[in-house]
Amino acid sequence: MRFPRDRETDPNHFYFVDFERHNSEIASFHLDRLLGFRRAPPVVGRLLNMTSEIYAITDDDILKTFFVSPANNLCFHGKCSYYCDTSHAICGHPDTLEGSFAVFLPSKEVAPRKSWRHPWRRSYHKRRKAKWELNDDYCSDIRRTPPYNKGRRLPDLMDMAILDFFIGNMDRHHYETFLTFGNNSSPLHLDHGRGFGKTRYDELSILAPLYQCCLLRRSTLRRLLGLHNGAEPLSSQMRRSLARDPLNPVLVEGHLEALDRRLHIVLEVVRECVGQRTADEVIILDDA
């Protein structure tokens, strides 16, 4: 891992330059299940021996990126578009490394997927804002735009926004669906490496789909209320779920406590929506 569990996102960093965290991928899978979505492929953590499990079997291009650090630890940086250089290397202790492993999705030859640009995508620019950040009535345009004008897709994005808010993920630029099912397929919940970076700060703009559209499935609301009013807090359920992972503790206590606080915030947003409109307008049946 690049840094300890308790290292938080640098407040001076933009969301698009934040490092990715393997423990965020693990925790997001567990949270996705607890929220009742079950749209994230299973992810598990484990310890790797870099010498026998990576260096000994990898190809020449990756081999060239291995080196021994001044602290005598085995490091590599791989090949990618960003952060693949010596100054951003991943190092073992001395060659033991934590990692997260996700279940492989079927190949695109077997089960083709379609990538969609997320309507609430951020600008990925230091000075520009996205359209939704400048227009409070942005959702009215989205409601008239296929595939969000009918079927399940728009409610699915509300669920995705809630998951992203819980984990603090601002990096949702695209999402994927299985092509075979057309617009009746739920989006896959993938790529959560930039979550769980802040324990004390809640990024409310992640909930923009929810508070701009004021739309939520009845089953999602029922699950959120059950977690809020139940005998066992969400933080406790999450702690118990993560205890089964080989890399437990996956999250520091601050991130677990933040889940309870953010659950209350989500329900407050829903309450405000119902106050502005009517419950029948905001809370929809699951087949809507």
Q: Is the pLDDT of residue 253 over 80?
A: yes
Tokens of 207: 């909930």
Domain assignment present for residue 9? The answer is no
Domain assignment present for residue 137? The answer is yes
Q: Is the pLDDT of residue 211 over 90?
A: yes
**Which of 157-171, 182-196, 250-264 has the least mean pLDDT?**
182-196
Q: Is the pLDDT of residue 223 over 80?
A: yes
**C-beta of residue 20 within 8 angstroms of C-beta of residue 7:** no
Whether residue 229 sits in one domain with residue 190: yes
Q: Is the pLDDT of residue 24 over 50?
A: yes
Domain assignment present for residue 136? The answer is yes
Domain assignment present for residue 3? The answer is no
Domain assignment present for residue 190? The answer is yes
Q: What percent of the chain has pLDDT over 90?
A: 87
Which H helix or E strand runs over 116? Answer: strand 113-117
Q: What distance in Å separates the CA atoms of residue 67 and residue 285, rounded to the nearest whole number?
A: 56
Whether residue 56 sits in one domain with residue 152: no
**Which of 1-15, 120-134, 242-256 has the least mean pLDDT?**
1-15
Whether residue 26 sits in one domain with residue 119: yes
**C-beta of residue 66 within 8 angstroms of C-beta of residue 75:** yes
Whether residue 72 sits in one domain with residue 135: no
Amino acid 288: pLDDT = 46
Whether residue 147 sits in one domain with residue 23: yes
- Pairing type for strands 283-284 and 216-217 reads parallel
Q: What distance in Å separates the CA atoms of residue 44 and residue 27, rounded to the nearest whole number?
A: 9
Domain assignment present for residue 53? The answer is yes
Residues annotated as binding site for Mn(2+)? 20, 191
Amino acid 262: pLDDT = 99
Count how many domains the chain has: 2
Whether residue 140 sits in one domain with residue 247: yes
Whether residue 180 sits in one domain with residue 37: yes
Q: What distance in Å separates the CA atoms of residue 80 and residue 57, rounded to the nearest whole number?
A: 19
Computed over every residue of the chain, the mean pLDDT equals 95
Binning the chain into helix, strand and coil, the percentages to the nearest 5 are 40, 10, 45
Whether residue 20 sits in one domain with residue 81: no
Mean pLDDT throughout 99-109? Answer: 94
Residue tagged active-site, from 136, 171, 245, 260: 171
Domain assignment present for residue 7? The answer is no
Whether residue 57 sits in one domain with residue 32: no
Phi and psi of 217, rounded to 5°? -70, 145
Phi and psi of 147, rounded to 5°? -90, 15
pLDDT tens sequence across 113-132: 999 999 999 999 999 999 99
Whether residue 122 sits in one domain with residue 200: yes
**C-beta of residue 244 within 8 angstroms of C-beta of residue 45:** no
Which three-class secondary structure state does DSSP give residue 167? helix
Residue 171 catalytic? yes
Whether residue 148 sits in one domain with residue 265: yes
- Going from the C-alpha of 200 to that of each of 96, 253, 259, the distances in angstroms are 31, 11, 11
Amino acid 287: pLDDT = 61
Domain span at 203: 15-42+114-284
pLDDT tens sequence across 133-168: 999 999 999 999 999 999 999 999 999 999 999 999
Phi and psi of 73, rounded to 5°? -105, 145
Q: What distance in Å separates the CA atoms of residue 164 and residue 172, rounded to the nearest whole number?
A: 8
Query: Residue 31's pLDDT band (boundaries 50, 70, 90)?
Result: very high
Whether residue 149 sits in one domain with residue 72: no
Q: What distance in Å separates the CA atoms of residue 95 and residue 28, rounded to the nearest whole number?
A: 27
Domain assignment present for residue 280? The answer is yes
pLDDT tens sequence across 42-86: 999 999 999 999 999 998 899 999 999 999 999 999 888 877 889
